Structure 1
Amino acid sequence: MSTPKWKIKGIVDDFDKCGCCGRRGLKRTVALMPLDADGNEDGTAEDVAYYGTSCAAAALGWTQGKVTDTARAAQAGRDQRDAYARRVISIYAPVEDAPVRDRARVYYGRNQHLRDTGVKATEEVAKLLAKARATLADTTTGPARPSRIEDFRRHIVILARDERIYLVRRVPEDEIERQEQAAAAQRRADEIRGSVLVVAALDAEAAREVAYADALTREWNAKAWQAAHA
């Protein structure tokens, strides 16, 4: 069996022209990364080709159904990596320039099994952030995604009495709407004997991660938001 020349990276909505036959007006295209003779990826985002499903199937020697299923699975994988990257950045970017002691407390607080193992928290935080930013900067199947503290958005989080998250909502930009949301959230928290937090993050799922984090992490999260919007 010959080695495939392409690897499916995902489904793309931004390109409506097939890079193989030239057909235009496609609803979506399949992102194909070229492979070398050993089957390893041989290029960057600039080398990716975007084919319609029928041309992608011909190029790979597959059925269109297999191409579609593989492309969807690849895209789902990228979405999961993006979600993890947003959580990493929302937790660790605010402490990136914090004192070493605080960075260590935040990192080891989340990775207690690595305490006293020789793993340096500052180095690990830097590695995690670099990888997360690279993930969100990858343009193989779409434009780069937000990854800076300036891209954080505030989210209001209602915690139930047992500290489980009851509700997460993005805080509106409009001041009157913010006040109304805050009042409604506090009323609901009082009804369930819970509490209200406001945290900053790249999305709602990352906001959940911040809300569940320790007090020091949330303290630096608030400082980073304030500094970015001073």
Structure 2
Amino acid sequence: MRTPKWKIKGITDEFSECGCCGRRGLKRTVALMPLDADGNEDGTAEDVAYYGTSCAAAALGWTQASVTDSARAAQAERGLRDAYARRMISIYAPLELAPARDQARAYFSRNRNVRTPDLNATEEVARLLDRARATLSDTTTGPARPSRIEDFRRYLVIFTSDERIYRTVEVPQDEEERQQQAANARRRADQIRGSVVVVAALDEESAGDVAYSDPVTRAWNQKAWEASHA
């Protein structure tokens, strides 16, 4: 069977001109990564071609419907990878400021089943962060996404009495609104016999992960937020 020359990486509205036929004003284009003779990706985001669906179908030998379905599926997978990367950065980026013992305590608290004699928690944290930042800096189907501690936002998380998340809301910047939100949250937590935690994260979903983390992770999360907003 003939080895394909392209791999669909997603679909984007960042490029409105077909890189094959030159047609302009397209609502979206398909991102195509070139492949080598063995079918492996042969390039970076700068080497990606952006084709209209009809040209992409011709290049791949597929139907337009198959191209569209595959492009949407690839874009959805990217969304999942981005979400995972945001969680890893929200949890582990503040720990880069921590000593090795705190990094180990936090890492193994979250990964209890991976402890081995030769596993170095500091190296694992660095590896996770490198991969997460690479994911969010990829520009194949859109601009780079926020990935720095400076991009974190504060979230207020209300827990129920059985330690389930009841509600997560972004903390407003206005001081009066912030105080009112905190008072309302404490009142609601008292009503459900729960608790309130404030954490910093890249998004709401990641905030939940940070709120569920061990005390060491949350302590460095707070320190990182304060350091980045000093």
TM class by smaller structure: over 0.9
Distance 1:190 1:22 in 2: 62
Partner-residue secondary structure (3-state), 1:50 = strand
Q: In the alignment, is residue 172 of structure 1 matched against residue 172 of structure 2?
A: yes
Runs of at least 5 residues in structure 2 that lack an aligned partner in the other structure: none
Distance 1:16 1:2 in 2: 30
| Aligned residues: CA RMSD | 1.0
Distance 1:108 1:128 in 2: 14
Distance 1:181 1:19 in 2: 50
Distance 2:83 2:100 in 1: 27
Partner-residue secondary structure (3-state), 2:118 = coil
Q: In the alignment, is residue 147 of structure 1 matched against residue 152 of structure 2?
A: no
Measure how far apart 1:174 and its partner are.
2.1
Measure how far apart 1:186 and its partner are.
1.6
- Report the residue type matching 1:118 in the other structure: D
- Report the residue type matching 1:98 in the other structure: A
Contact 2:97 2:224 in 1 (8 A): no
- Report the residue type matching 1:139 in the other structure: T
Counterparts of 1:58-207 in structure 2, within 5 Å, are 58-207=58-207
1:4 corresponding residue in structure 2: 4
Distance 1:54 1:180 in 2: 54
Partner-residue secondary structure (3-state), 2:156 = strand
Q: TM-score, normalised by structure 1?
A: 0.97
Task: Tell which deviates more after alignment, 172-181 or 57-66.
Answer: 172-181
Measure how far apart 1:116 and its partner are.
4.0
1:226 corresponding residue in structure 2: 226
Distance 1:160 1:72 in 2: 37
Partner-residue secondary structure (3-state), 1:157 = strand
Distance 2:57 2:172 in 1: 45
- Report the residue type matching 1:93 in the other structure: A
Partner-residue secondary structure (3-state), 1:96 = helix
Residues 177-198 of structure 1: CA deviation (Å, up to 9, x unaligned): 2222222222211111111111
- Report the residue type matching 1:149 in the other structure: I
- Report the residue type matching 1:91 in the other structure: I
- Report the residue type matching 1:97 in the other structure: L
Residues 143-201 of structure 1: CA deviation (Å, up to 9, x unaligned): 11111100110011000010100111111222222222222222211111111111000
- Report the residue type matching 1:63 in the other structure: T
Distance 2:213 2:219 in 1: 10
Distance 2:40 2:67 in 1: 19
2:51 corresponding residue in structure 1: 51
Q: Which runs of 4+ in 1 moved over 6 A?
A: none
- Report the residue type matching 1:201 in the other structure: A
- Identical aligned pairs, as a percentage? 75
Partner-residue secondary structure (3-state), 2:103 = helix
Distance 1:16 1:176 in 2: 45
Residues 63-102 of structure 1: CA deviation (Å, up to 9, x unaligned): 1110011011111111111111111111111011211110
Distance 1:69 1:164 in 2: 36
- Report the residue type matching 1:187 in the other structure: R
Q: TM-score, normalised by structure 2?
A: 0.97
Contact 2:159 2:196 in 1 (8 A): yes
1:28 corresponding residue in structure 2: 28
- Report the residue type matching 1:156 in the other structure: L
Residues 97-122 of structure 1: CA deviation (Å, up to 9, x unaligned): 21111000001111112224321111
Measure how far apart 1:24 and its partner are.
1.6
Aligned residue pairs total: 230
Distance 2:50 2:189 in 1: 49
Contact 2:9 2:71 in 1 (8 A): yes
- Report the residue type matching 2:114 in the other structure: L
Distance 1:36 1:205 in 2: 38
